[in-house]
Structure 1
């Protein structure tokens, strides 16, 4: 889950994918780093209403924080990020402190992006992952095909409103109906990440399609409600077997780099973005869901190594969830434990928190050959297959969202959160 550093890496204009349909190859023949070697993202032609599947077409919308494409975009990215009280709660002074903090931090963060190539790769990875998932879905779920990939970022292009305008241009909504799935790319739910993205989606749905559009009717494809887009949500997936297997394989690959006699003594440090304790104490489910992912991965590994869950990217002087990743690495090294593998357990691709904070700051400054990082999920075919499986089961379920999404945090006082949840839960009730 990201905070100020989840200012991910480079997002160039999309290029065409390789001709080979990677999703159709046996897993063993698909290169784990194919996207890194090609350095390309997907271009997919628009899907219009009236296409093939009896329940299609279906828009698949990947939601994430996003990141600046270039160093020149860092200021705008930080301005949006620090203006979001769901992510970084600054209280009544949010409108004053947010711009002040973002302006002061911009030069430092620009330098960090320059150090990792000039921008964030999260857009390219997101577009690639979503396009590949949709290729698989077209094959395994023909009744909801064709599946059209979209990306909606909270703080960077393509912003949620840009994505929504594209949906309307492509023939979804606007009196034509059609189905769209908001697929969070935060595997573990937090009100500050998935919740914030859904609040933004709800806001633009109301602005661009209007309250009078109401909710979809009970029949599949019904245009009751003015032909608005029928939204459903994949709001969390912390222990999906494919996600767990993808993480475990990356850990196994990294452990294989250690001599056999040291391998089972390597300490695994699962690192996730921290949360302010004010959010944790409000009842946010994120810490528990991250812990569930960690334990599921360790079970898949046969509890082969000692491990800890640690937290990175604290911002500001207030109390945050710990122990901090940087402190933990330094403290273990001081105790003589110099074989450590860092595992970014709450991220689905590389960005500033992996490429700069973990690689440059924590591992680089540790100065120990035994301190390494497991590869991020990125173009892992195991991970992309998992995304397709999650989406297919969701499409078949008929559910609008999980039951857990309808439950507010016990300490929640956000009217925006309340209205957003009511919107999705009312759609569920209509079914």
Structure 2
């Protein structure tokens, strides 16, 4: 299977009415937002303006961008460790895979929707934050992708153009859109951000952008409620008498076992999300956590999603729901790998997928709540982020973590 990394209504235990809900306009339509004009350092609250930078791996918006996307992806040793031959094997693998991956993106509409959804989510969240936290307003939405436009370098330059940094100071929050932390995803994105900060503002960073990091949120109640609500909606499509027997398969992107054995926290944090969702559902159905998108001959974290579905079908289980648990929007892993390959090739109407988070208003409320609590905490990053993996030997990781930890109190 080719590499594809990344990456409403509700019933019981729904989120109670809150300030977030009251801020929403009745009948608001979820059209994609237009960007606010640039903010400047004289357009502030007492602690604003604040740049909210959504970090993700990204995806090619058109098939013409697939080659460059794969080249950057296979060049990243944090994501796909290829050892000393990375500079040779990375370009070779990306060139060989480009034609096939282009066909897959063409099959889901000609490109990934991840940029569209990321820009929408960040813009809608900032509208809520302006009202929830006027002292740190205005909140300006940005998106910084690791392997696709807008790249981290492009976004950092946009921050500087908009009046942050370059002797003017200003505050920015790097908000990971990987709910569960991995050195291969959030860690890689932060390494890239730290690299461009040093290149564009200098290592001493005098009067540079003051950064803080939201580095993980695997069991936030809003995230849990949004995922659980989507599961309940899909369960409602099965006959009542069989509903409780439907198997729930939570699917997350896999990791090489070399990364897992180094002490990466990702498997435990994904499991925390799954347990929180099942607790919300009162453990109504049998469930398993499975892993997708592994590539190459080396050992990866399993069981594989595709194999799990095949084996359950052989055992007579033909009613299953696949649940994307580590992705915040649709992209090729959901629209092609799960929908067209795993579900399509299984050939059973009872095998379905729960909806991705996308424009889910409960999820966007959750993003605003996470950001608001972070802004009020004054912390530059969590204590977990400061801790390196037990077997980490990366000097880059050490210096990146040190930089963000030393940003100090932001209140």
**What's 1:218 paired with?**
none
**What's 1:95 paired with?**
87
Shift of 1:43: 2.1
Contact 1:57–1:145, Cα closer than 8 Å, also in 2: yes
Separation of aligned partners in 1, 2:73 and 2:168: 34
Corresponding position: 1:321 with 2:301 = yes
Separation of aligned partners in 1, 2:367 and 2:398: 28
Separation of aligned partners in 2, 1:7 and 1:106: 16
Shift of 1:46: 1.0
- Given candidates 184, 196, 199, the residue that maps to 1:192 is 184
Separation of aligned partners in 2, 1:44 and 1:373: 35
Separation of aligned partners in 1, 2:6 and 2:52: 23
Aligned length: 398
**What runs of 5+ residues in structure 2 fail to find an aligned partner?**
8-20
**What's 2:121 paired with?**
129
Contact 2:252–2:291, Cα closer than 8 Å, also in 1: yes
- Given candidates 42, 50, 55, the residue that maps to 1:58 is 50
**What's 1:368 paired with?**
348
Shift of 1:425: 1.5
Write the deviation string for residues 184-210 of structure 1: whole angstroms up to 9, x where unpaired: 000000000000000000000000000
**What's 1:80 paired with?**
72
| TM-score between both structures, scaled by the size of structure 2 | 0.94
- Given candidates 266, 273, 277, the residue that maps to 1:297 is 277
**What's 2:359 paired with?**
379
Corresponding position: 1:208 with 2:206 = no
Correspondence 1:136-147 to 2 at 5 A: 136-147=128-139
Correspondence 1:259-270 to 2 at 5 A: 259-270=239-250
- Given candidates 272, 280, 292, the residue that maps to 2:260 is 280
Separation of aligned partners in 2, 1:48 and 1:254: 45
**What's 2:291 paired with?**
311
- Given candidates 235, 239, 248, the residue that maps to 1:255 is 235
**What's 1:181 paired with?**
173
**What's 2:13 paired with?**
none
Shift of 1:4: 3.4
Partner SS, residue 342 of structure 1: strand
Correspondence 1:162-177 to 2 at 5 A: 162-177=154-169
Partner SS, residue 428 of structure 1: coil
Contact 1:272–1:310, Cα closer than 8 Å, also in 2: yes
- Given candidates 335, 338, 350, the residue that maps to 1:358 is 338
Separation of aligned partners in 2, 1:148 and 1:430: 17
**What runs of 5+ residues in structure 1 fail to find an aligned partner?**
9-21, 214-225
Corresponding position: 1:46 with 2:19 = no
Aligned Cα RMSD in Å? 1.7
Contact 2:380–2:410, Cα closer than 8 Å, also in 1: no
Write the deviation string for residues 312-350 of structure 1: whole angstroms up to 9, x where unpaired: 000101000000000000100110000000000000000
Separation of aligned partners in 2, 1:252 and 1:129: 23
Separation of aligned partners in 1, 2:22 and 2:87: 46
Separation of aligned partners in 2, 1:50 and 1:430: 18
Partner SS, residue 62 of structure 1: strand
Separation of aligned partners in 2, 1:298 and 1:329: 20
Q: Compared with structure 1, are the counterparts of its residues 382 and 319 closer, same or farther at alpha carbon in structure 2 (3 Å cutoff)?
A: same
- Given candidates 287, 309, 321, the residue that maps to 1:341 is 321
**What's 1:18 paired with?**
none
Partner SS, residue 396 of structure 1: helix
Partner SS, residue 63 of structure 1: strand
- Given candidates 146, 170, 176, the residue that maps to 1:154 is 146
